[in-house]
Chain A
């Protein structure tokens, strides 16, 4: 009886193994029936899986988060670092855009006057402890920058190169109290001297007592011998107030300098200029006023209700 039971057991075991090997063989030979069975099972189970996912996935995620707490924290740190880098890149990009705009502007101005210029970035501002107003630029003697060369931006005159080092240069700003530049009034060609005042404003003193100034006059650089320190025609500023004091020998005026010294980042050093004076070609064009549409509303009284 026991032998018979053992034989039956062995036979069962062998039959099962042979069946499984048969299944493997059929599957490896690509019998479609077995694929159909597997697909059918999955079709039956998938609704249960969907329900299970809805109910248990949040719990599963919780366990996953708990077991991967260290990794999650590491990932957060990594993302924070990446975020910081991206933010820095964005700031750099904005900075680059701003510099690009300034460079384009200065090249436009230089192109209009046919100046040969060397572009430079402002690498440091002058000492705040002293009263001089200077900047350092990253172009120097190796780039052709020499002392007493005019420095401009897209808006106009910035200053003059005072000291030229091999790879950098010190520029005295037009706002420096010691700065002086020969100037002329665009249009009337009156001549005078603009001096810095330590602010964004300068003072123009005319040399001729027979001429008069008016608010809005544009002041240009008169130019120097051999174009050093100043090339002619560079816009300096605009007259904002005229001093008509009685008894004064010559007329003086406040001049709002065109260059914005607070936001200087890219400048150009004029290393060569054409023989002919650009005259008033660089005078900034007056802004065209944008028409503001007006709407007229006529009030029409409504009919009074009849009693």
Chain B
């Protein structure tokens, strides 16, 4: 079942990844902007089971590792995204009040995005990456949270609709 769901959602992720790499990356906005792909993945994971969240994170992390702009070793984003996908879906799993409330989804994704990026940074430091300016890192993390708060409400209707269309109908069928 996991594999089937994984392969069903893969083209959507590939499309979002393509949009991220070819369109979103063209915009240079305050604080380094935001990652549509990261937000989409975390939102998608939050709507599923923890196992599916981990699997979604695995696939998304692999794609992020393949990005030209990734500086870390192959697999670093994969590891982070497995944990992030699992954690965000685990938090709301079985609590319909949580998942049915858009505000809680916005808040949890807005918190998850900077934490995920911070985890990537910390693990990167372990692998010998350079940290750069602490102030710049702080601004970037804060800005990504703010951009996420701004964009998730716009993105959420599409994500929830696609998610329910794909999985609820399939499970019924």
Contact = CB atoms under 8 A, between A and B. Distances in A.
B73 A24 contact: yes
B23 interface: yes
Contact of B27 (A17, A26, A60): A60
Interface centre among A13, A26, A27, A59 (most CB of B within 10 A): A13
Contact of B29 (A17, A48, A64): A64
B28 A64 contact: yes
A53 B51 contact: no
Interface in B67-107: 67-68, 73-76, 78-79, 82-83, 86
Interface residues of A, number: 35
Interface string B7-42: 000000000001001110111111000000000000
Interface stretch (B54-62, B151-159, B165-173): B54-62
B27 A16 contact: no
B54 A56 contact: no
Nearest to A54: B26
A37 B78 contact: no
Contacts of B23: 52, 56
Main secondary structure of the interface of B (DSSP, over half): helix
Contacts of A59: 26-27
B58 A16 contact: yes
A20 interface: yes
Contacts of B65: 23, 38
A48 B82 contact: no
Given A23-B78, A28-B127, A52 B58 contact: no
B79 A51 contact: no
A45 B58 CA distance: 20
A63 to B, nearest CB: 5
Contacts of A167: none
Contact of A22 (B18, B25, B75): B75
A22 B71 CA distance: 18
Contact of B55 (A16, A27, A34, A49): A16
A8 B49 CA distance: 13
A52 B22 contact: yes
Nearest to A31: B74
A60 to B, nearest CB: 4
Interface of A: 8-9, 12-13, 16-17, 19-28, 34, 37-38, 41-42, 45, 48-49, 51-53, 56-57, 59-61, 63-64, 67
Given A12-B54, A26-B74, A38-B65, 5 more contacts: A12-B51, A24-B74, A34-B74, A48-B22, A59-B26
Interface of B: 2, 18, 21-23, 25-30, 49-51, 54-55, 57-58, 61, 65-68, 73-76, 78-79, 82-83, 86, 127
